[in-house]
Copies of this chain bind each other. A is one copy, B any other.
């Protein structure tokens, strides 16, 4: 075939999220594990399209908060086919701008607005969709990636027990993924806000102050103190804040210290309420059986986003803290109702799967699976016997075993090699003589062991060899 005009077939920068088949098989396995945990807690799947109206994505709540943050949104525009000039996109005449979603939260709010009469509340849903962010591409930063989110949304009040359930779900997922010890760090924004108010920080500075505190782990205490003072905190306040966010100990010790601090500040209502909420959540987490070494209270955790109003979570992988938070989220009381003008508090968590998986593979904590999901290769020894090979293949598939039939005319050695490269553990070999004798040979590529069995015992023998791996 003549080579056409050379085309640059590389992926655009930031979209290089493509996995090899064995890596993608691992990703699907991980997604199945996550999904199973979500479903055990009663979360139902939804999926929203990649495209929404831009005004939906940029919607703000009554506090002027949106979930856009610094994210750059992609709009989409139809390109006419080269041979169809003149045929225009009629809908765009409406002037409506269509754009790719950059998170799952705003689309969830829109989904609920669109379908609220068909949903049962509290509405617990999970979503594992792709999101798109037009940010500057950096290593480990993608412009398209998959987020695995759960959220519970209520009309009216939403029990704090839903907040307590999130760490249990996180713990169950990361235990099931078997990627080593992890630590779920829990905080409550009301505790931070209440404390900042109590030490006399001006109301309009509190959100910025929370964002500064959130960078503590990244930039260290000296920088945080500097930034707090730049913001207008006096040195004493800055010291108080630093001391406060560094309170440590097990959850009970931290709650105890918080109570004392609250008393010593004259028990201001908001601060006291925050502590009370945090306490309830911790109690729930314990009742749900989350091991004591899997969670803690960390008063420096705040999450960057404006819209969180209560509980917040981050999760780090012990020994791999540089990976950053592998699962984060929190409570937001005023975001989901924006489209319908109704109070709809919610709480949720999110796993940035694309980035997490890539990093777990890089750190060799998770390893790709073989390229092929087949477990048996039926070797093509004699093309005359192809009808037999096809029937044997179907027999194995009939009991749920993945099979690759050798269609190519290659030497047996080449076929073993192919099976080996694909990660197929077993080869089934039937030559004319074996077939005439009603026999077949089953070869285990890993060990090199092979046995001859009657054809009618073939399926059962292979099943046994695959054992629990089947």
> Which A residues form the contact surface with B (CB < 8 A)?
1-4, 7-22, 24-25, 27-28, 36, 39-56, 58-62, 68-82, 84, 87, 89-91, 96-100, 109-111, 113-115, 118-120, 122, 124-125, 130, 132, 134, 136-137, 143-144, 159, 161-162, 165, 168, 172, 283-284, 287-289, 334, 337-339, 341-343, 371-374, 386-387, 390-391, 393-394, 397, 400-405, 407-408, 418, 421-422, 424
In the docked arrangement, what's the CA distance between A161 and B405, Å? 10
In the docked arrangement, what's the CA distance between A119 and B422, Å? 9
Inter-chain contact A56/B21, CB cutoff 8 Å: no
Given A68-B81, A81-B71, A134-B78, verify A373-B55 contact (CB < 8 Å): no
Inter-chain contact B422/A120, CB cutoff 8 Å: yes
A136: B residues at CB distance < 8 A: 90-91
A17: B residues at CB distance < 8 A: 49
Quote the shortest CB–CB distance from A199 to chain B (angstroms): 29
Closest to A399 in B: B40
Closest to A71 in B: B81
Inter-chain contact A75/B73, CB cutoff 8 Å: no
Closest to A418 in B: B120
A4: B residues at CB distance < 8 A: 59-62, 338, 341
Inter-chain contact A114/B50, CB cutoff 8 Å: no
A53: B residues at CB distance < 8 A: 7-12
Q: Which of A4, A12, A84, A136 has the most CB of B within 10 A?
A: A12
- The listed residue (B25, B74, B78, B387) touching A78 by CB distance below 8 A is B74
Quote the shortest CB–CB distance from A287 to chain B (angstroms): 4
In the docked arrangement, what's the CA distance between A386 and B288, Å? 10
Q: Would you list 5 pairs from A and B whose C-beta atoms are within 8 A, ordered by A residue?
A: A1-B342, A19-B46, A24-B47, A40-B403, A45-B373
- The listed residue (B7, B118, B386) touching A287 by CB distance below 8 A is B386
Given A40-B400, A100-B76, A120-B422, verify A343-B1 contact (CB < 8 Å): yes
- The listed residue (B3, B55, B401) touching A8 by CB distance below 8 A is B55
In the docked arrangement, what's the CA distance between A68 and B84, Å? 11
In the docked arrangement, what's the CA distance between A269 and B12, Å? 46
Inter-chain contact B159/A13, CB cutoff 8 Å: no
Quote the shortest CB–CB distance from A137 to chain B (angstroms): 7
Given A75-B77, A81-B70, verify A45-B62 contact (CB < 8 Å): no
In the docked arrangement, what's the CA distance between A195 and B390, Å? 31
In the docked arrangement, what's the CA distance between A317 and B343, Å? 47
A342: B residues at CB distance < 8 A: 1
A137: B residues at CB distance < 8 A: 91
In the docked arrangement, what's the CA distance between A47 and B77, Å? 23
In the docked arrangement, what's the CA distance between A320 and B40, Å? 37
Inter-chain contact A114/B390, CB cutoff 8 Å: no
